[in-house]
Amino acid sequence: MRCRRCNQPAVFNMRQHKLAFCGAHYPAWFVERTERTIRKYHMFAPGERVLVAVSGGKDSLALWDVLLKLGYDAAGLYIDLGIGRGASNDDGYSAASRGKIERFVAERPGARFIVVDLQDEYGETLPQVARRVQRGRAKPCSVCGLIKRHAMNRVARDGGYSVLATGHNLDDEAAVLFGNLLHWQTGYIARQAPVLEAEEGLARKVKPFCRFYERETAAYALITDIDYIFEECPHAVGATSLQYKDILNRMEQEAPGTKLQFYQGFLRTRQANFFRDEADQPTLIPCPACGQPTSTQGLCAFCRLWTRQAT
Amino acid sequence: MRIIYRNQVWELQGQRRVRDAIEEVGLEPYTVLAMRDGKLLAEDAMLDEDDDVRLVAVISGG
């Protein structure tokens, strides 16, 4: 197997693209493809302020790295959920993740980094909130998603960032699509897109890695020596999204390109307005406590987490 | 050669291609990437008897 660009021995092969690259040319291809995706979906332009949600994992750190290489004005946001926090604040999954980000920043002078510490700001860690509220006992990941979305929107709004970028890759998107199709969640299907335009009080959300396989982002991180957290979040063990990923990967093994066709076919169908009627959203009104848009009267779902009624 | 994945270590005798070694220790090749001396290895790369190969899960992170 030889590098497409220089004919030297390849270190990474992508059967779905019939492409292989050496260690020098793979990162270049990866960065160029990210830029093409940003332009293809009109995600953002040079000069716009981009907030990158970073978890310490390969996808988000790779995304931040690529955006900095491309010269975008990209700051990182880490939400410290206090997962695995013990007697000391320096142990556990969240602390390890934060350590990876601090190292990433230390190696890139000028990279700006914002931290939201859930316990410092709200008095509880994610595991504590999840144990206390009904929706968290059944699904801690549901509470986690709610908290992260709220924090990302707040920091973007308060910091004047017009764009919020996340490291969702094609495997993530395909797994979400697969799950929503299995359950015919047509409203969710209609709103799944590489770009969610800004709404009142909400920044534009973009997924510049939505055309990369998870294997491709992992290879980029490893080849470029990004030190990321290898472990999966302890709360994600057994998650249905991981089961869907596994099913799709088995299909991919038999027919390379299956995941790419599944997702890109969906995007083409979506572009043809196949799901347009389903995309109509309820009118959003500001939450009286935090000001973020909500579809319900009274406090938004995030603010309700911190009231006693949530127990 | 030694194949290292998370907390597990396997010892294999003789030469092998990366893909074959991964299958031999009971893992699916699409779930991991192989590294030797900190460098990524292609699936068809040949491994020697005295190599240490670290496997990294493709799915990881928060």
pTM above 0.80, yes or no: yes
Kindly state the average pLDDT of the residues A38-66.
Answer: 97
**Contact: A229, B41; criterion CB under 8 Å:** no
Query: In which element (H, E) is residue B21 found?
Result: helix B18-24
For A200-250, what is each residue's pLDDT tens digit?
878 999 999 999 999 999 999 999 999 999 888 888 777 888 899 999 999
Chains A, B: CB contacts within 8 A come to 76
Distance (Å) from the alpha carbon of A7 to chain B's nearest alpha carbon: 14
ipTM higher than the 0.90 cut? yes
**A23: region left, alpha or beta (phi > 0 left; psi from -120 to 50 alpha):** alpha
- What's the pLDDT at A194? 97
Q: Where are the beta strands (DSSP E) in chain B?
A: 2-5, 8-11, 16-17, 32-36, 39-41, 46-47, 52-57
**Contact: B60, A252; criterion CB under 8 Å:** no
- What's the pLDDT at A13? 96
* Best B40, B41, B54 residue to mutate vs chain A (most A CBs within 10 Å): B40
Distance (Å) from the alpha carbon of B9 to chain A's nearest alpha carbon: 17
Neighboring chain B residues of A9 at a CB cutoff of 8 Å: 42, 45
- Judged by a CB distance cut-off of 8 A, whether residue B44 touches chain A is yes
- What's the pLDDT at A81? 92
Neighboring chain A residues of B42 at a CB cutoff of 8 Å: 1, 9-13, 20
- What's the pLDDT at A280? 61
CA dist A168 and A58 (Å) reads 11
**Contact: A253, B28; criterion CB under 8 Å:** yes
Neighboring chain A residues of B60 at a CB cutoff of 8 Å: 57-58, 218, 228-232
**Contact: A229, B61; criterion CB under 8 Å:** yes
Give the pLDDT band (50/70/90) at residue A295. Answer: confident
For A64-103, what is each residue's pLDDT tens digit?
999 999 999 999 999 999 998 775 655 789 999 999 999 9
